[in-house]
Amino acid sequence: MLRRTKIVATLGPATDSPEMIGKLIEAGLNVVRLNFSHGTHESHRQTIALVRRIAKEMNRTIGILQDLAGPKIRLGDLAQGELEVQNGDTMVLKAGEASDDPGIIPVGYPYLAEDVEKDERILLADGLVEILVKEIKDGLVYCEVIVGGKLSSHKGINLPSSNLRVPSFTGKDKKDLALGLELGVDFVALSFVRHEKDLIQVREILNQVENPPLLIAKIEKPQAVDRLPQILAQVDGAMVARGDLAVEMRLEEVPLIQKRIIRLARKEGKPVITATQMLRSMMENPRPTRAEATDVANAVLDGTDAVMLSDETAVGSFPVESVAMLDRIAHYTEGKMEDMDFEAQDTEVVPATEGSISRAACMLARELRAAAIVAATTSGSSARLVSRFRPKTAVIAITTSEEVQRQLALSWGVVPVLSPNYDNTDQMFEQAKKDALNWGLAKGGDRLVITAGVPVGVPGTTNLVKVMDMID
């Protein structure tokens, strides 16, 4: 059975060799993630070239996602290197990169005293330490420790209630994006998005490129959750970035936020990735915990387009096993799912003609027991609109663009196929039959449901649905 849910995996020291990349692809990898918080431009350049070469040798469609670092705020150099704070202790914070005074904790954010407020919660060391602002005086922020723990230089700091002046798209991000565009990445993920305005500069840069990558908004700030519909309207996809999201918001809120993000992204017909600690224990162990297996299955049941591995494949001891485990869990879960009632799905936000054609194709495929739905697509949009209904029938996307083919590697249930150019619908229908046969998704006597646009090759003109019998 074809696995519908796609797998994204982060490359790192544990997996950036040709042998390991090949093994990850063989285990079920669909999209490679490159974390631009780490590595050099030269190392990323080499990795992208390596992924492209190996994917071509293996005849696999593998997308590449560039994850921009964004404005991560960290502690400066502590005078004592590290310290342990207890509940009830007083901590004093001050903007700066270092402090010689062991009684003052430096924070690498110049507007700290201006942007925080009394009774505001601050989280340190990925949320392990929690403090509460009690007083702000003479550039110093006096806090009470609510949850104690260990701190050391350069640990992360989160200010979930503050409207920080730091931009989501930093100078480093701009340089990294220029490299990504030069090397032809397929997706760009923007970190710490708070408002749809944060996306404007990135979108302007992408619009200058002939075949731009898809823009993915990482939802990891409370402000982004509050403006989710507006943000989704400006991007091509979303990531449920549960790491920082669980630090900045109450832990018990995250599961329902995850479901809401997935639901709204599907409603918009845009791919959504569920990320962070999917199989965290497999960094050290060859098998996941029961809770992790359940977490992955629930993401699949929610209808996420993709599940993502981070440290598990970047630095973990069992990267190939982690990808294989995602593949197993997704396969089994999908096999037990009943066909979703796509007629009940939200459709009012989809452009009328394209949305109606996509919905009609899914209805026809179900009622006629078609072997596959074939979406002839120039931009990838029509295939994604079919995908949003989550049909049981396989979705074959035929496109003449290598960029679109790789971008569709992220979309639920879509088998992206590179097609030769065709001049008319008759040639396109013949190509659809060939691709369905070549991929083993149809045989003689089966039926196909085909969606396309006329005139052929013009983006955004999906206006045709056809039922075709496969002649022996």
Catalytic residues: 33, 74, 218, 276
Contact between 215 and 235 under an 8 Å Cβ cutoff? The reply is yes
Contact between 313 and 29 under an 8 Å Cβ cutoff? The reply is no
CA–CA separation, 181 and 76 (whole Å): 32
Q: What element of type H or E holds 148?
A: none
**Tokens for 458?**
């013009």
Preceding peptide of 455 cis, ω within 30°:
yes
For 273, other C-beta atoms within 10 Å of its C-beta total: 28
Give first-to-last CA distance, the chain, whole Å.
Answer: 23
Q: One-letter amino acid identity for 354?
A: E
